[in-house]
Amino acid sequence: MTIAPEAPARSIEFLELDLTARCQLACSHCYAEAGPTKGHGSMTGDDWRHVIDEAAEVGVETVQLIGGEPTLHPNFSELAWHALDVGLRVRVYSNLYRVREEHWDLFGHPDVRLATSYYSDAPAEHDEITGRKGSHDSTRANIVEALRRGIDVKVGIIHMRDGQRSQEAFAEMVELGATQVRIDRVRAVGNAVQGVLPSTSALCGRCGEGKAAILPDGTVAPCGMGRFMPAGNVRGSSLKQVLAGSAWSSVVASIPRRGQAGCTPDEDSCMPSPGVDMACNPDKDGSDCSPAETPACNPAYDD
At 114-144, the pLDDT tens digits run 999 999 999 999 999 999 999 999 999 999 9
- Per-residue pLDDT band at 178 (split at 50, 70, 90): very high
Give residue 245's pLDDT band: very low, low, confident or very high (50, 70, 90).
Answer: very high
- The band of 208, judged by pLDDT with boundaries at 50, 70 and 90, is low
* pLDDT interval class at 263 (50, 70, 90): very low
Strands 210-214 and 220-221: antiparallel
Q: Establish how many alpha carbons lie within 13 A of residue 192's alpha carbon, considering only the half-sphere containing its beta carbon.
A: 22
User: Residue 175: pLDDT above 80?
Assistant: yes
Give the integer Cα–Cα distance in Å for 294 and 153: 13
For residue 190, give the nearest of 13, 16, 35, 9 by alpha carbon: 35
**pLDDT band, very low/low/confident/very high, at 284 (cuts 50, 70, 90):** very low
Mean pLDDT of 280-296: 34
State the pLDDT at residue 80.
98
pLDDT of residue 34: 82
Q: What is d(CA 68, CA 72) in angstroms, rounded to the nearest whole number?
A: 8
Query: What is residue 224's predicted lDDT score, i.e. its pLDDT?
Result: 76
In the prediction, which pLDDT does 223 show?
A: 81
Output the pLDDT for position 196: 54
When pLDDT is cut at 50, 70 and 90, the band that residue 276 belongs to is: very low
d(CA 273, CA 66): 27
pLDDT-based confidence at residue 194 (cuts at 50, 70, 90): low
Please state, in angstroms and rounded to a whole number, the distance separating the CA atoms of residues 189 and 186.
9
Task: Give residue 186's pLDDT band: very low, low, confident or very high (50, 70, 90).
Answer: low
pLDDT band for position 97 (50/70/90)? very high
Output the CA–CA distances (angstroms, integers) from residue 222 to 139, 230, 259, 288, in the order listed. Answer: 29, 8, 18, 10
Mean pLDDT of all residues in 81-97 = 97
Query: Could you tell me the pLDDT band of residue 102, with boundaries at 50, 70 and 90?
Result: very high
- What pLDDT digit, counting tens, does each position of 13-39 carry? 999 999 999 999 998 778 778 889 999
Please enumerate in sequence order all residues whose Cβ is within 8 A of that of 294, keeping only pairs 6 or more positions apart, or say none.
115, 117, 156, 157, 158, 184
Query: Around Cβ 85, how many Cβ atoms within 10 Å?
Result: 10
Q: What is the mean pLDDT of residues 212-230?
A: 87
Please compute the mean of the pLDDT values over residues 245-250 and round it to a whole number. Answer: 89
